[in-house]
Structure 1
Amino acid sequence: MGDHFQPQPPPAANDKPAVWDLVVQDLERDEAPLSTLKAPFPWSTRDLMALVRADARARDAQGRKRYGVPLQAGNGRDAPVDAYQEALDLAVYLRQALEEHASRFVPDAELYVREHLSGLYNIALHSVWRLRWLLFSRDGR
């Protein structure tokens, strides 16, 4: 196992803004232009964005409960390593979903769902490659 899988220290609190708050602000900023798009599904983009914001807040609460502090920059952890590890997990979960998709979605939407899962899986793989390049260029390994 490479150095990028060594345990990291628990996050340490500091005076920087909570990163989840910044993510929610970014989601709110991005919502306005998206709200004019016609979604190819029965719910609106605005409804979907509201769900994503709520999920982000719930994930923040889960992290605060687990670690006792909000996720903040400068917390003593190596964010690119965390992102790389999580991106690997994302890729494997999406690949699992591709294997399982036929039994989990409405038949009329099967091709649509498979195309989206394939696209997300490819994005995840590209994210993994880019993150690994970033770590290599920074650490030389």
Structure 2
Amino acid sequence: MTDYLKPQPAPAPSAATPTWEYVVQDCQDMVHVDGSSVWHLLAEDGASRDAFGAAKYGTRHQHDNGRDHAVDAYQEAMDGAMYWRAEHLRTRRASALVIYRQALQLAHDIRAYLLERDGR
């Protein structure tokens, strides 16, 4: 197992603006770019994830919380690819296969980023 798959320390609270506030605002801003109502749903879901994370970890997500966010993203991307592969196997929907391939590419790109950043 690489270091990138090992558990990280619990997040430490700081004075920084919670990261979800930026993400929710970015989703709300995207409505004005393409008009998709899905952006509103993402914003609502982001606010819910923020509350869930605060309850689970005792603090909201902040960029300076002591964790390696690229490693967190890599682990989540790997899991996401696996979930989309399972969804495609279960449903055989072409759209699930497309999303699986996008998720796998995202995991690839994050791993390439880690290789470039850390040299391993």
TM-score, structure 1 length as denominator?
Answer: 0.80
Rounded Cα–Cα distance in structure 2 between residues aligned with 1:101 and 1:57: 29
Any stretches of 5+ residues in structure 1 without a counterpart?
36-44, 103-113
Structure 1 position 33, deviation (Å): 2.4
Aligned residue in 1 for 2:105: 126
Q: CA offsets, 1:33-57, max 9 Å, x none?
A: 222xxxxxxxxx32x3322211111
Percent sequence identity is: 38
Query: How do residues 1-141 of structure 1 correspond to structure 2 at under 5 angstroms?
Result: 1-35=1-35, 45-46=36-37, 48-102=38-92, 114-141=93-120
Structure 1 position 61, deviation (Å): 0.6
Q: What's the Cα RMSD here?
A: 1.2
| Alignment-mate amino acid for residue 88 of structure 2 | L
| Alignment-mate amino acid for residue 100 of structure 1 | R
Rounded Cα–Cα distance in structure 2 between residues aligned with 1:68 and 1:21: 17
Q: CA offsets, 1:51-107, max 9 Å, x none?
A: 2211111111110001111111011000000000000000000000001115xxxxx
- Divergent runs of 4+, >6 A: none
User: Based on CA coordinates, which of the two structures has the bigger radius of gyration?
Assistant: 1
The count of corresponding residues between Structure 1 and Structure 2 is 120
TM-score, structure 2 length as denominator?
Answer: 0.93
Aligned residue in 2 for 1:110: none
